Structure formats: C-alpha cells, structure tokens
C-alpha cells in the first residue's frame, strides 16, 4: 500500500496601507486572494502529477521506497512511500550531513572551535564521502557516534535515531531528512547562522563527480549527498538527499529526500532513485 501525503503551509501576508481609502484595502485583499488561489491551484496540479508519476515508478520495484519533497514555490511538502511513512531506513552516508550540521552547531555555541583540520575532514566527509574523516569528527570532536542525536532532537526529527556502534546505521525517514535540508537551505527554525548554512551548501555543491548521482537527475544546478551501503542481508541501501536550485531557465526550487533499501543491487537502487528524481524535476519545472 502506498501512502501519499500533502502538507500545506500558509504564511500570513501583512500589508501596511499608506492611505485609509477602503478601495486600496479592497485591492490589496483581492490581489492576495488571487495569488493564493493561483498558488493553491498550481500546488494541487503538481500534487496529482507527482502522485501518479511516483506510484508508477514504485509499482515496478520490490524495494522499500520513501520520497519527500518541499517545493518552495508552492510552499508545500509532498510525500509518498510504499511502506508506512514513519518506517525508518538506515542512513548510510547521508548521515554525514547531520554530522556536519552538529559540527557547525557546536562551533556556533562555543562547544568547540572549528580548526583547519576539522574543515579539511568536513570537506572530505561531504565531497568525497570519506568514512575515516566522519569517524574522526564523531569520535574525536563531537563526543561519539550518537552526537547526531542532538540534531535529530533539536530539529524534531522524531523518527531518526543515531547508532552507538555504527554511525552509518543511524535510521531516518524521508520526511525527517527534509527538516534537516530545510534548515540548511531555507533557514527553517533559524538553527544555523547564515555563514554556517553557506558553508554546508558549498560543500554539498562540490561533491565529487563520481558521487553526484541521485536527486540531481534532470537538474542543472543542485547540491547533493548520497548514501550507499551493502546491507547485512546482501541487499543495497541507496539514499539521496539535497536541494535543486532555480536557474535562469528553470524556476523549480526544492529540497528532496529519497530513501530506499532492499535493492537487489547498487545499480538498480541508483536507477530507482534517479527515476523518481527525474520525474520530480520534470513536473516541478513544468
């Protein structure tokens, strides 16, 4: 059974009138109402298109799949899963974005001072997905493998749990990953300072060419972090999270998280993720 969910976020619009004329007030209200109606119609259309496209792709696989997208242009979040939406999947290397976030947060709060060595390891961790760099930052700088739980708790990632023995075995959901991504890309919760957010975005925009597959499919401007892991039962965990940027000829601006496990092979998992990413990009740019 597939579960499709749409979350609509409304932001209050405030207008300050220069004059007290009733006609001016009416014009403002009419304009706001028209814009809201247009955005709502567009969002409903996108929701229908995404649901159909995602269901068609998920119907072709036995893998477990979760996808969540926040579209800045319509201010809506779309989700679909062929498991319960709260089913947690092992993160593999996408947890490195949470590690980076905790590193930056501790630097902001004064719990640590970011050194040139820390920065070098952070760069390797994100752009090369270096495991040794991740282990160093967690064990030597952040207090252990469960350090990311602070990020999960602070950002109300209620279905995400750090693993005490293997950091790549932390578990999460696509919806929880959106909370993290929106914190970095859209300043949600004002959790990170602007310079910290910029630092994280620049690293995710500089991932090695051999590792920039996944949510980037179909996009020309993106920031990405992928995770891939051969699980203990021989199947593959293939995850991809990131942000698609608007460009001069493409106005889509969204964060996206695609989590999959029980894939028969690494290549089939990547192909599945990229089909979902490509379909999403096509629809949101239409």
Instruction: Flag whether pLDDT at 216 surpasses 90.
Output: yes
Of 143, 136, 67, residue with least CA distance to 96? 136
Q: How confident is the model at residue 11 (pLDDT cuts 50, 70, 90)?
A: very low
109/107 Cα distance (integer angstroms): 6
Instruction: Flag whether pLDDT at 82 surpasses 90.
Output: yes
15/32 Cα distance (integer angstroms): 10
241/108 Cα distance (integer angstroms): 24
Express the helix, strand and coil content of the chain in percent, nearest 5 each: 50, 20, 35
Q: How confident is the model at residue 250 (pLDDT cuts 50, 70, 90)?
A: confident
Q: How confident is the model at residue 266 (pLDDT cuts 50, 70, 90)?
A: very high
Q: What is the DSSP string of 122-182?
A: HHHHHHS--HHHHHHIIIIISSSGGGHHHHHHHTT-TT-B--SS-GGG-EE-HHHHHHHHH
Per-residue model confidence as pLDDT tens digits over 28-60: 344 344 445 567 888 999 999 999 999 999 999
- Give the pLDDT mean for 76-84: 97
119-98-174-277 Cα dihedral, nearest 10 degrees: 0
In order of 31, 87, 171, 172, 178, the CA distances from 152 in angstroms are 40, 16, 11, 9, 12
Per-residue model confidence as pLDDT tens digits over 184-194: 999 988 999 99
Per-residue model confidence as pLDDT tens digits over 116-137: 999 999 999 999 999 999 999 9
Phi, psi (rounded to 5 degrees) for 155: -95, 10
> Which residues in the chain belong to E strands, given as ranges?
3-8, 64-71, 76-81, 89-90, 171-172, 222-230, 236-244, 254-263
Angle among Cα 143, 149, 153 to the nearest 5 degrees reads: 135
pTM of this structure: 0.89
276/281 Cα distance (integer angstroms): 9
Q: Looking at residue 10, what is its pLDDT? A: 39
- Give the pLDDT mean for 92-108: 99
Percent of the chain whose pLDDT exceeds 70 = 87
Instruction: Flag whether pLDDT at 237 surpasses 60.
Output: yes
Q: List domains and CATH numbers for the chain.
A: 3-284 (3.40.710.10)
194/185 Cα distance (integer angstroms): 10
Instruction: Flag whether pLDDT at 218 surpasses 50.
Output: yes
Percent of the chain whose pLDDT exceeds 90 = 81
128/139 Cα distance (integer angstroms): 19
Q: Looking at residue 191, what is its pLDDT? A: 97
């Amino acid at each position: 059974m597939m579960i499709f969910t749409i979350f609509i976020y409304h932001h209050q619009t405030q207008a300050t009138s220069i004059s007290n004329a009733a006609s001016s007030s009416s014009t403002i209200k009419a304009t706001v109402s028209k814009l809201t109606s247009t955005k709502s119609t567009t969002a409903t259309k996108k929701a229908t298109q995404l649901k159909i496209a995602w269901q068609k792709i998920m119907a072709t696989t036995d893998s477990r799949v979760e996808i969540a997208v926040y579209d800045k242009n319509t201010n809506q979040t779309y989700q679909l899963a062929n498991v319960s939406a709260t089913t947690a999947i092992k993160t593999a290397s996408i947890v490195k974005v949470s590690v980076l976030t905790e590193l930056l947060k501790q630097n902001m709060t004064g719990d640590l001072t970011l050194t040139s060595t820390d920065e070098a390891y952070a760069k390797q961790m994100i752009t090369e997905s270096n495991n040794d760099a991740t282990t160093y930052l967690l064990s030597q700088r952040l207090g252990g493998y469960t350090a990311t739980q602070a990020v999960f708790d602070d950002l109300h990632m209620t279905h995400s749990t750090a693993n005490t023995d293997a950091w790549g075995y932390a578990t999460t959901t696509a919806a929880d990953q959106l909370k993290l991504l929106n914190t970095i890309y859209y300043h949600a919760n004002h959790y990170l300072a602007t310079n910290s957010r910029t630092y994280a975005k620049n690293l995710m925009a500089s991932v090695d060419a051999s590792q920039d597959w996944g949510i980037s499919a179909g996009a020309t401007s993106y920031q990405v972090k992928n995770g891939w892991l051969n699980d203990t039962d021989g199947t593959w965990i293939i995850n991809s999270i990131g942000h698609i940027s608007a460009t001069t000829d493409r106005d889509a601006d969204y964060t996206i998280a695609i989590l999959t496990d029980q894939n028969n092979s690494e290549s089939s998992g990547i192909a599945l993720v990229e089909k979902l990413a490509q379909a999403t990009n096509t629809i949101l740019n239409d």
